[in-house]
Chains A and B, each alone.
Chain A
C-alpha cells in the first residue's frame, strides 16, 4: 500500500507550493525581500549623476541626494537580512561634503562592501569608489582626478589658497587611507598639466586606475558579485570560528 506515503508526499509538495506562492505574493504585494539566497542577500546602491548635498541643484541635473543615501546605508547596516552592499558608481562628482559623508559611511560599515565604477567615477566619485572593501572598475570607465574649485566670491589673499589646500587635503587623505595610492602620488595626479583641456588633473582609464593603486581590480558585474559573495562567505566563516571557539576566551 503506497497510499499513506503518497499522501504525506502530496502534503509536503502542497506545503512547498504554498510557501513559494507566499513568497511570490510577498514580493508582488509588499516589495519585501524575505527570500533568502544561500550565498547571502545583497543590496545595491547606485550613485549616479551629480552628488547633491546642501543645495538643491537645478532640475536639469540628474542627482543622487544624500538624504536618500544615508538612511539607506543605515538600514543596510542594521537589517539582519542583508549580508552585503554593492555600490555602483557612474558619477560626475558633486558636493564635497555630501560625497565625503557617503564615503565615510560606507568605509565604516561592518558588512562586506564592493564598488563597481561603470562609465565614470570622477572628482568626488573617487573617495566613494575607494571606500568599499574591494573596488572594481570597468575597462572602459574613466576617473578624472583634479583639484577642487570654489564658486562664489573669493578674496584674493594667500589664505584663500591655504583654505583650498585644506579642503583638498580631506579628499587626498581619505583616498590615500582607503586605497593603495600615496598622498604624494595622488596630489601629483591632481595637479598634472597637459591632460585636461581647461584644467589641471589626470584622466585615468580602468587599467591605469588599478596601476596607480586607486582601484583594486579591473572587472565587471560578475566579478564584483563574485567578490562580494566571497567576502560574505569569509565573514560568515570567521563568525562561526569565533562561536565554535567557546566564546569565553580572552578577546
Chain B
C-alpha cells in the first residue's frame, strides 16, 4: 500500500497497540446505514450516518447520539 498523505506515516500508524477492537458496528436503521456503538445500558447509540442523501442528515431520529430501541 502506498500512502499519499500530508500526515507523516508515524502519526498515521504510530501509538498503535496492534488491535483495532472498538465497539463500533454498522447497521441499517430507518433505511439508512449508520455506525453505532453499544452503550452501557445495552442500547445502541448512533455515532455516524453513512449516507449521501442530505435528507438522512435532517432526520432527528438519525442524529449522532440518538439511541436505537
Contact = CB atoms under 8 A, between A and B. Distances in A.
B1 A54 contact: yes
A204 B7 CA distance: 17
A171 interface: yes
B67 to A, nearest CB: 17
Nearest to A98: B1
B41 interface: no
Contact of B4 (A45, A58, A94): A94
Given A93-B3, A144-B6, A31 B56 contact: yes
A56 interface: yes
Given A54-B1, A93-B3, A148-B4, A61 B12 contact: yes
A61 B3 CA distance: 13
Q: Secondary structure at chain A's binding surface: helix, strand, loop or mixed? A: mixed
Contacts of A45: 52
Contact of A68 (B16, B50, B61, B62): B50
A58 B12 contact: yes
Given A28-B61, A31-B59, A33-B55, A93 B7 contact: yes
Q: B3, B15, B56 — which one has the most chain A CB atoms within 10 A of its CB?
A: B3
A43 B54 contact: yes
Interface string A94-126: 111101000000000000000000001011100
Contacts of B51: 31, 72
Interface in B27-69: 30-33, 50-56, 58-59, 61-62
Q: A56, A92, A99 — which one has the most chain B CB atoms within 10 A of its CB?
A: A92
Contact of A94 (B5, B31, B59, B62): B5
Contact of B7 (A50, A55, A68): A50
A57 interface: yes
A150 interface: yes
Interface string A176-190: 000000000000000
The number of chain A residues touching the other chain, given as a range, is 35 or more
Q: A32, A58, A94 — which one has the most chain B CB atoms within 10 A of its CB?
A: A58
A194 interface: no
Interface in A31-61: 31-33, 35, 42-45, 50, 53-61
B50 A28 contact: no
A149 B3 CA distance: 7
Interface string A121-160: 0111000000000000000000010101111000000000
Nearest to A35: B55
6 contacts: A27-B59, A31-B59, A44-B52, A45-B52, A58-B20, A93-B6
Interface of B: 1-7, 9, 12-13, 15-16, 20, 22, 30-33, 50-56, 58-59, 61-62
